[in-house]
Copies of this chain bind each other. A is one copy, B any other.
Amino acid sequence: MSDDVPLPGSASVGELLRLLRDGVPRTRNELTTVTGLARSTVRARLDMLLDAGLVSDGGNEASTGGRPAGRFVFNARARAVLAAEVGATHATVAVTDLTGSPLAVRRIEQDIADGPDVVLPGLVAAWRAMLAEADLGSVRLAGVGVGLPGPVEHSTGRPNNPPIMPGWNGYDVPARIGAEFDVPVLADNEVNLMALGEHTACFPEAQHLIVVKVATGIGAGFISNGRLHRGAVGAAGDLGHIVAPNAGDVPCRCGNAGCLEAVASGAAIAAALRAKGIEADTSADVVALVRSGNLEAGKAVREAGRDIGEVLATCVSMFNPSLIVVGGTVALAGEMLLAGVREAIYRRSLPLATGNLRIVGSQVGDRAGVLGAAAMVVQHVLSPAVVDRQFA
């Protein structure tokens, strides 16, 4: 084997692509120097990436006298990613490029309780329609990412005893979608994906981050050392069913009593308002009341924020995040919820852990989950090991 002959196989093609993903155009010589690969190997690997369309001509470098060297640049439009966040009553569906930026987003109404054989074909139909409308029918797909409103075993993509998802337990989500699109299909809990979405799209510098979703239910997702923390069986972040200090023995839909969700979720706030003779059925009703200036609704949302903050205070002392992002429908009520959360956390957590802590509302709102689903796919399919296997 001579150094003039490129290495057999595809080792390091993924590493080259990883370098180029920052969008900076680079010459062959620059890539050879940075990677330490043989020049012949860099040449062969770039040819593979050019053939696959993942890298394209990035123009010539500014001439310094000799013949200007050609530059190569990552082509984020070479593949499309299909992403969806499935909620209890609707789903957000998107097509993105290889940076996870949306090319098209759409909301579809569907009931998770109809089961996977209805819900998943609904997503597939939406993706197909969006690809056709956006004239992306000829673009190759990179992968599919789906967020679901319950615990998911990420390694298999199967829901794991999800409480509000009848018919979904153990269902092979990747197999069903993979029968339609012959690309990697990944699934995860939607709150994990909200955390990944906020981190990737808005707070890439935050290494330790908690994202809380306050909607019909309550959940949380963690980023630790810049990576999603899913836990041993994908059950991390189940904030809603932790015993809340002020929940007493209020019954919870999970079968226990005293859960945070039983007193501080959108559903619980609506029930508390109804008990006071105020008409409110859903989280959205609660938000509309707050926005219309209803004082009782505002007080109830703030109190829910305090309850959530009491439980989060323990998380802050244990986990020491630099940032907490509060999202979900109820967060649309604005500062009322955040004020309650902040009040309880600053009162209850250890001073060292709150010294530099920021507590903010979601920056991307109801797109956080679908952005996270796309980011999950991009992380996977562009990881050096997976790229090397693709080209092997």
Q: Which of A273-323 contact B (CB under 8 A)?
A: 311, 314-315, 317-322
A311: shortest Cβ distance to chain B, in Å? 7
Whether A71 is near chain B, meaning CB under 8 Å from some CB there, is no
24 A-B pairs whose Cβ atoms sit less than 8 Å apart in the complex: A3-B40, A11-B33, A15-B36, A38-B39, A161-B352, A208-B232, A222-B319, A225-B225, A229-B229, A230-B320, A231-B319, A231-B353, A232-B321, A232-B357, A233-B353, A233-B355, A235-B320, A237-B318, A238-B350, A239-B317, A241-B350, A242-B314, A311-B314, A318-B319
A81: shortest Cβ distance to chain B, in Å? 23
Contacts of A224 in B (CB 8 A): 222, 224-225, 227, 229
Whether A362 is near chain B, meaning CB under 8 Å from some CB there, is no
Contacts of A133 in B (CB 8 A): none
Whether A88 is near chain B, meaning CB under 8 Å from some CB there, is no
User: Do residues B318 and A239 form an inter-chain contact, with CB atoms below 8 A?
Assistant: yes
A184: shortest Cβ distance to chain B, in Å? 20
Complex CA–CA separation, A232 to B350 (angstroms): 13
A69: shortest Cβ distance to chain B, in Å? 13
Contacts of A348 in B (CB 8 A): 243
Complex CA–CA separation, A317 to B314 (angstroms): 12
Q: Which of A214-258 contact B (CB under 8 A)?
A: 220, 222, 224-225, 227, 229-239, 241-243
Whether A7 is near chain B, meaning CB under 8 Å from some CB there, is yes
Contacts of A227 in B (CB 8 A): 224-225
Contacts of A12 in B (CB 8 A): 35-36
Whether A32 is near chain B, meaning CB under 8 Å from some CB there, is yes
Contacts A1-B29, A208-B231, A220-B318 aside, 12 further interface pairs with beta carbons under 8 A come to A1-B32, A12-B35, A36-B38, A36-B41, A229-B319, A231-B319, A232-B357, A233-B352, A235-B353, A236-B319, A237-B320, A241-B317
Interface residues of A (CB under 8 A from B): 1, 3-4, 7, 11-12, 15, 29, 32-41, 151, 160-161, 207-208, 220, 222, 224-225, 227, 229-239, 241-243, 311, 314-315, 317-322, 348, 350, 352-353, 355-357
Each complex incorporates copies of this chain amounting to: 2
User: Do residues A207 and B225 form an inter-chain contact, with CB atoms below 8 A?
Assistant: no
A384: shortest Cβ distance to chain B, in Å? 11
Complex CA–CA separation, A254 to B356 (angstroms): 20
Contacts of A36 in B (CB 8 A): 7, 11-12, 15, 37-38, 41
User: Do residues B236 and A318 form an inter-chain contact, with CB atoms below 8 A?
Assistant: yes
User: Do residues A353 and B1 form an inter-chain contact, with CB atoms below 8 A?
Assistant: no
Complex CA–CA separation, A314 to B243 (angstroms): 8
From B38, B230, B232, B318, A3 is in contact (CB under 8 Å) with B38
User: Do residues A320 and B234 form an inter-chain contact, with CB atoms below 8 A?
Assistant: yes
Complex CA–CA separation, A235 to B355 (angstroms): 11
User: Do residues A232 and B318 form an inter-chain contact, with CB atoms below 8 A?
Assistant: no
Contacts of A231 in B (CB 8 A): 208, 319-321, 353
Complex CA–CA separation, A100 to B391 (angstroms): 38
Knowing A11-B34, A314-B314, say if A320 contacts B39 (CB, 8 Å).
no
From B35, B238, B355, A318 is in contact (CB under 8 Å) with B238
Contacts of A235 in B (CB 8 A): 317, 320, 350, 352-353
The 3 closest A-B pairs by CB, nearest first: A231-B320, A38-B38, A232-B322
User: Do residues A317 and B232 form an inter-chain contact, with CB atoms below 8 A?
Assistant: no
Contacts of A37 in B (CB 8 A): 36-38
Complex CA–CA separation, A66 to B104 (angstroms): 61
Contacts of A38 in B (CB 8 A): 3, 36-39, 41
Complex CA–CA separation, A322 to B29 (angstroms): 46
Complex CA–CA separation, A320 to B232 (angstroms): 6
Complex CA–CA separation, A109 to B345 (angstroms): 40
